[in-house]
Structure 1
Amino acid sequence: MPSAQPRPFRAELRATLQIAGPLALANLLQMAVYATDVMFVARLGQQALAASSLAVALIAVLMMGLNGVTSACAPLIAADIGRRSNAVREVRRSTRMALWLAVAFGLAGIALCQFATEFMLATGQKPELAQQGGGFLAILSISVLPMAVANVLRTFVSALGRPVFATVITAVSILVNALGDYALVFGHFGAPALGLTGAALASIITATSTALAYVVAILADRNLRRFRVFGRWWRPEWQRLRRMLVLGLPIAGTLVAEGGLFSSAAFVMGRVGEAQLAAHTVALQIAAFAFQVPFGIGQAATIRVGYHYGGGNREGVGHAGWASIVIGMAFMSVSALAMFAVPRLILSAYVDVSDPANAALTGYALSYLFIAAIFQLSDGLQAVVAGALRGIQDTRVPMIMALIGYWFAGFAASIVLGLFTPLGGVGVWIGLAVGLTAAAALLMVRWHRRERFYALAFT
């Protein structure tokens, strides 16, 4: 396990990359799982794609909130190991309580999703889209529970120095999901052609197999098995549970604020036009795909900063945070350049850009990708800095900053520019850029002034 002793900046860069690399790749592979669904559903027609995008927008926000609560085990585990490398009992307690929260919030999320049709109608969506999207989400929501459990186990293996497990398991899940979609959406291998329902069932199968794969990996690995995270799972650790909620609820609030910004943009797009909504879905998939790398770097920052925070290493905290920021900005510069240089090539992975039937969708999507290229740096920066702040267990104020940036600045701009100016969908995306930039600036100020509020941890 990495030491909490001071490290030169270059050494911290290497240590961060060792964790961030597999996590970022796992995040990219997870997006490939989602992209597989989009590719299959898109072939059912524009209305099916639009309806599924509304459902996915809702479940994405739900999962962000749920994963935010349970991800509080990452800084707690990292800090425990930083204080004492053989912190078996403390790590087990954090993981067990995170699994409790995953199950409890997962069941609540499934119940909420049963009212998706009513919610979509209340937001002004077309009745046929609301009915189709709500029915799809009612089935898809069953995958929430295994996805939440898998996320906790992924955090556990990553904090314990096995992030490559997440990469391998997620890679296998792509194949499982693709086969499930191929069989159940269009009716192959003797299965019935179920359309959107088939895509939902394929997602449930994929999520369940992923959670089971983590269980097998943990039990098969000698270092992970010794923590006995599945032993006495019924035993409560109320103090650890309360601490996890104190840290996790603001993390959930931050992630929901960001995810809610993009998901709400989908509902605004639904009022602008069906073609714009479909283009928004595809363009957002591309932007979200690029975002998975800085998100993985932010996850690594939480772990690396957390190690040093637990060990009382002030210099190490700074090195770990700044190393993560440098890595994140380097990658997002490359992704921005790619979106500027070859947008049609990137878009062709999702739709046939040469098909005249897709002309309107392609035109809108290219406009949105141009704006996405502009906000790549701010999007990556806010993700990495938020991760570093979680490492020093600072979550409440960053949540407030996220709400201000994403909603008071970003969503307000999307509403005004998207619905009350001729910009339409382009205006919605300009609002997204405003929100991300505002949040990045506020969080960066918080990180720069971290010494003012975490000094007590080193006394």
Structure 2
Amino acid sequence: MTPLSPYASHLRSLLVLGLPLIGGHLAQFAIQVTDTIMLGWYDVTALAALVLGSSFFYVLFLMGAGFGFAVMPLVAAELDNPDGETQIRRVTRMGIWLSMLVGLCSLVPLLLAEPILLAFGQEPALAGQAAVYLGIAGWGIVPALGVMVLKSYLAAMERVQVVLWVTILAAAMNAGMNYLLIFGKFGFPELGIRGAAIASVGVHVISLIGLVIYALRQFPEHELFVRLWRPDWSAFFQVFRLGWPIGLTNLSEVSLFAASAVMVGWLGTIPLAAHGIAIQLATATFLVHLGLSNAATIRAGRALGRRDGPNLRRGALVAVTASVLFAIVTIAIFLTWPEALMSLFLDPDDPSKPEIIAIGVGLVAIAALFQMADGGQVMAHGLLRGVQDTRVPLVISAVAYWLVGVLSGYVFGFVLGHGAMGVWSGLVLGLGVAVAALMWRFWRRALPRAVPAARPAAS
């Protein structure tokens, strides 16, 4: 056996888990893109209301999803434990409990969205339309968070193919239901933005039912839903302690990008359009890093459960290397074809196209640098979650994203007068500080503490 074979084994395992998870994230992204395109075809005002309403929805969803994400490393750590079935059941059930509680609490601001949006300075007509959307779509947050828990549970059980296919089917169902209900095709009523909201809820409910049936059939020994109503306070607080920092970390990252959009919006419509396209490009590539990060969480969690320090280190090194290599490829593409990438999102006859591309080319160049930093920070988060370290990473992220990222973006963009490129430079700086601190945290602090007396084991 050659010296490289352990690393090759880790790479194979990472890709077996990571590629379906990447596909699932891209399919989820396709759902959002489909909503945007179809309502854009229907009515521009409805599209603006959708963007506003769905942004509000996803802020609350990502906060609540922290408990779903927490289930992944907790389940993975028990896979190689002969008596782990009981603990897998306990933490998954309490992950469902916590997610349902957060979902029910989130219904209040979602169903009362109009005064909240007005308080944030939104136009009354736009706030009213967004509130109509959220009055229906808001009910989907409870099943959506349930889906997140079961996806994390099944991914940790290394049933990532079903996670991929359920998300692909959800994307197809969403497109079909949107077509029928937004435009009123084949005898269905023309409901516009209400149709998009109904489709969203329907997709979440059907996805949840499908995952529940699959889990019951494939893992009857876990008895996930037997006496689900009975509390298990020890497991409840175990999931809570790991999950709430993840939720707030998600919030801090989302708010960083929301703040950047607000700042670029101060510069005018053309810079904001260029910013939006560059963010779409960066998001699509980020999802690859996110899928690899999820796979790294599972692999690290399993190694932690075995107290297997050498393979935890090897697996982490392989995961980081894979993320870096993908970032290098993306950087080359972004720097070689920036105009072509920008043009994919623009009408050839749009008179503002040259101005948008002129600004966008610079943003795409910065987005190339952005790849290494953004991929690195999400990979560090994945590894830290795998060894169940989430509280200090929350503090690091909040400081890096807000005190460094937002503040420096404002200084570069407005005080020094570099405009949108200055704001994006602040994003890169904030993410760069985050990746440096988080990687140091994993390699120098979290990893030695997780397996201080580990023994070698097969990967």
Q: Under a length normalisation based on structure 1, what TM-score does the superposition of the two structures give?
A: 0.90
Residue 60 to residue 427, structure 1, CA distance change in 2 (3 Å): farther
Count of paired positions = 450
Specify which of 138, 153, 156 is matched with residue 141 of structure 1: 138
- Separation in 1 of the partners of 2:245 and 2:43? 39
For 1:11-410, what aligned pairs fall within 5 Å after superposition? 11-44=9-42, 46-82=44-80, 84-221=81-218, 224-356=219-351, 365-410=360-405
1:125, distance to aligned residue in structure 2 (A): 3.7
Gaps of 5+ in 2: none
* Native 8 Å contact 2:393 2:438 kept in 1: yes
Residue 206 to residue 270, structure 1, CA distance change in 2 (3 Å): farther
- Separation in 1 of the partners of 2:202 and 2:293? 29
- Separation in 1 of the partners of 2:437 and 2:251? 17
1:55, distance to aligned residue in structure 2 (A): 2.6
Residue 199 to residue 357, structure 1, CA distance change in 2 (3 Å): farther
* Native 8 Å contact 2:304 2:450 kept in 1: no
Residue 158 to residue 122, structure 1, CA distance change in 2 (3 Å): same
Residue 204 to residue 234, structure 1, CA distance change in 2 (3 Å): same
144-153 or 417-426: which moved more? 417-426
- Separation in 2 of the partners of 1:457 and 1:62? 40
1:348, distance to aligned residue in structure 2 (A): 4.8
1:189, distance to aligned residue in structure 2 (A): 2.2
184-193 or 68-77: which moved more? 184-193
What secondary structure, in the 3-state scheme, does the structure 1 residue paired with 2:78 have? helix
Amino acid across the alignment from 1:335:
T
- Separation in 1 of the partners of 2:361 and 2:130? 25
* Native 8 Å contact 1:35 1:285 kept in 2: no
- Separation in 2 of the partners of 1:123 and 1:267? 12
- Separation in 1 of the partners of 2:420 and 2:133? 25
Residue 285 to residue 147, structure 1, CA distance change in 2 (3 Å): farther
1:18, distance to aligned residue in structure 2 (A): 1.2
1:132, distance to aligned residue in structure 2 (A): 3.3
Kindly report the root-mean-square deviation, in angstroms, between the aligned alpha carbons of the 2 structures. Answer: 2.5
- Separation in 1 of the partners of 2:292 and 2:435? 15
Q: Which of structure 1's runs of 4+ aligned residues deviate more than 6 A?
A: none
- Separation in 2 of the partners of 1:132 and 1:267? 21
Amino acid across the alignment from 1:141:
G
- Separation in 2 of the partners of 1:141 and 1:422? 40
Percent identity over paired residues: 33
For 1:402-441, what aligned pairs fall within 5 Å after superposition? 402-418=397-413, 420=415, 422-441=417-436
Gaps of 5+ in 1: 1-6
Amino acid across the alignment from 2:138:
S
Q: Under a length normalisation based on structure 2, what TM-score does the superposition of the two structures give?
A: 0.90
